[in-house]
Amino acid sequence: MSRLLHAALLSAGIALAAGGAVAQPIQVGVTISTTGPAASLGIPQRNSIALLPTEIDGHKIEYTVLDDGADTTKAVANIRKLIDETHADVIIGSSTTPASMAMIDVAAEKKVPMISLAASARLVSPMDDQRRWVFKVPQNDSLMADAIAEHMAKAGVKSVAFIGFNDAYGDGWAAEFGRAAKAKGIEIVATEKFARTDQSVTGQALKMMAAKPDAVLVAGSGTPAALPQKTLKERGYTGKMYQTHGIANNDFLRVGGKDVEGTVLPVGPIVVAAQLPDSNPIKAQALKYVNAYEAANGPGSVAAFGAHAYDAGTLMAAAIPAALKKAKPGTPEFRAALRDAMEAQKDLVMTHGIATMSPTEHNGFDTRARVMVVIDNGKWKLLP
């Protein structure tokens, strides 16, 4: 044991000495879905990577961004490419749960820390030898599902119809919301699916309305989530509407128009950063990101998905100084130290929340990572 420690200290010493001479750049490998069905997540994420720091403690940080098109095979090939060819010290990605799930094995095999930008809690729990290497910055679905169920219970909703994407996102939500609703004694009277590019969801809308629910929850991401809501409206549904945090970009408001007024949903604080009280530490961090993003990509372009990539960068940047003290970038020791340092983060302020990591908790968000908002006059409005 002590010999091991000795060796570690020695290598750290060498690393420091070498670091003084030629600052070895830190390689960050990114694989996200900038094309394909998850492109609306991946594109703002790619734009956000461009805003991440390019130098920390005298070490250049080099980013290599690859596209996996939300294809698991491609995602795994990409992570191998990033590790084998660019010798990545840390991996960011991928944008979707299935792609991230498939990458875990490689990250663990190569012992490279990986920060996923996907939703499902299954990426980091239950904690095991493989998931040790995986961190995840978006809020768990369960955190958001609980918030919706809580809001529904308070609003007197007894029965809910659910319609979700026919993909991993919809599946995750169906399971999590089912659990949360049950806990609050809310009955789910219809569970429907739709596909992102479906032309019509009339059938599903009629089925849900026939079940006469107090409220409808749509679980989709981006503009596609507007179609069920618009169809329900068209067919004369007047009950309460809930959406998930997957819709939090301005494109949704553009496509939804006045049909989505009054919709209630949980979001990361970033979406309503300007409305947060100044006392909230997230506000400054979130506004910094929003301003930087919109300066680069135009006003109104910011999307909550992109902020996940920025948060991944924040987590990584927070851990790098500690890791640099232990080892030189490009070495297995550095990657292990980076992992350890990320796991040691306490009360790290990000745009989506405040994270406290631990050996068993690699998401680290608590209820500060969600706020309830309502769509009001085509804007997101923070609910008290």
Partner 1 sequence: MRRFGWVGAAALAVALPWLPFLPPFWITLANYIGIASVVAIGLVVLTGVGGMTSFGQASFMGFGAYTTAILSTQWGISPWLTLPASLAVAGIAAWLIGQVTLRLSGHYLAVGTIAWSVALYYTFANLDFFGRNDGISGIPPLAIGGFRFIDPRATFAVVWIGVLASVLATRNLLDSRAGRAIRALSGGSVAAASFGVNTARARSLAFVHAAVLAGFAGWLYAHMQRSVNPTPFGLNASIEYLLMAVVGGAAHIPGAIIGAALVTVVNDQLQDLLPRLLGQSGNFETIVFGIVLVATLQAAPRGIWPLLARARPRHRDIQPDAPPLPHRALPTPNLTGGEVLDVRGLSKNFGGLAAVSDLGFTLASGEIVGLIGPNGAGKSTTFNLLTGVAEPSGGEIRFLGRSLAGLPARAIARLGIARSFQHVKLVPAMPVIENVAIGAHLRGHAGAIAALLRLDRAEEARLFAESARQLARVGLAEHADRPATELALGQQRIVEIARALALDPVALLLDEPAAGLRHAEKQALATLLRQLRADGVAVLLVEHDMDFVMTLADRLVVMDFGTRLAEGRPHDVRENPAVIEAYLGAPG
Partner 2 sequence: MDSTIGLILVQDGVINGAIYALLALSLVLVFTVTRVIFIPQGEFVAYGALTYAALDNGQLPGSVWLLCGLGVAAALAGLWRRQVSARLLALTLALPALVLAVAIWAAPRRLGVAFDAALTLAIVAPMAPYLYRIGFQPLAEASVLVLLIAAVGVHLAMVGLGLVFFGPEGWRATALPAPSLALGDLPVPGQALWIVGLAIALMLALFAFFELTLFGRALRATAVNRLGARLVGIGTAQSGLIAFAIAGAIGALSGILIAPLTTVYYDSGFLVGLKGFTAAIIGGMAAYPPAVLAALAVGLLESFASFWASAFKEVIVFTAIIPVLLWRSLRHGPAEEEE
DSSP readout, 127-170? --TTGGGEEE-SPPHHHHHHHHHHHHHHTT--EEEEEEESSHHH
The total number of residues written for the chain in this structure? 384
- The SS3 call for residue 184 is coil
Q: Could you identify the residue written with the tokens 């680069």?
A: 296
Q: Which does 159 bind (CB under 5 to 8 A by kind): partner 2, partner 1, none?
A: none
Using CB under 8 A, pick the residue from 166, 275, 280, 356 that binds partner 2.
Answer: 166
Contact in structure between 136 and 97 (CB atoms under 8 Å): no
Contact in structure between 106 and 80 (CB atoms under 8 Å): yes
Q: Which does 76 bind (CB under 5 to 8 A by kind): partner 1, partner 2, none?
A: partner 1
Residues 22-61 that bind partner 2 (CB under 8 A): 35-37, 39-40, 42-43
8 burial via Cβ count (<10 Å: 0-12, 13-18, 19+): middle
To partner 2, the closest distance from the beta carbon of 64 in angstroms equals: 21
Using CB under 8 A, pick the residue from 184, 207, 288, 325 that binds partner 2.
Answer: 207
> Would you count residue 271 as binding partner 2 (CB under 8 A)?
no
Residues that bind partner 1 (CB under 8 A): 34-35, 46, 50, 65-67, 70-73, 76-77, 80-81, 84-85, 97-98, 101-102, 104-105, 109, 120, 122, 166-168, 170-172, 193
Q: Which does 210 bind (CB under 5 to 8 A by kind): partner 2, partner 1, none?
A: partner 2
> Would you count residue 204 as binding partner 2 (CB under 8 A)?
yes
To partner 1, the closest distance from the beta carbon of 363 in angstroms equals: 17
Q: Which does 104 bind (CB under 5 to 8 A by kind): partner 2, partner 1, none?
A: partner 1
CA 16 distance to own-chain centroid: 34
Helix or strand run (H / E) with residue 379: strand 379-382
Find the radius of gyration of the CA atoms of the chain. 21
One-letter amino acid for residue 222 of the chain: G
10 burial via Cβ count (<10 Å: 0-12, 13-18, 19+): exposed
Nearer to partner 2, 196 or 352 (CB): 196
Residues that bind partner 2 (CB under 8 A): 35-37, 39-40, 42-43, 163, 166, 192-204, 206-207, 210, 222-224, 226-227, 234-235, 249, 251-252, 255
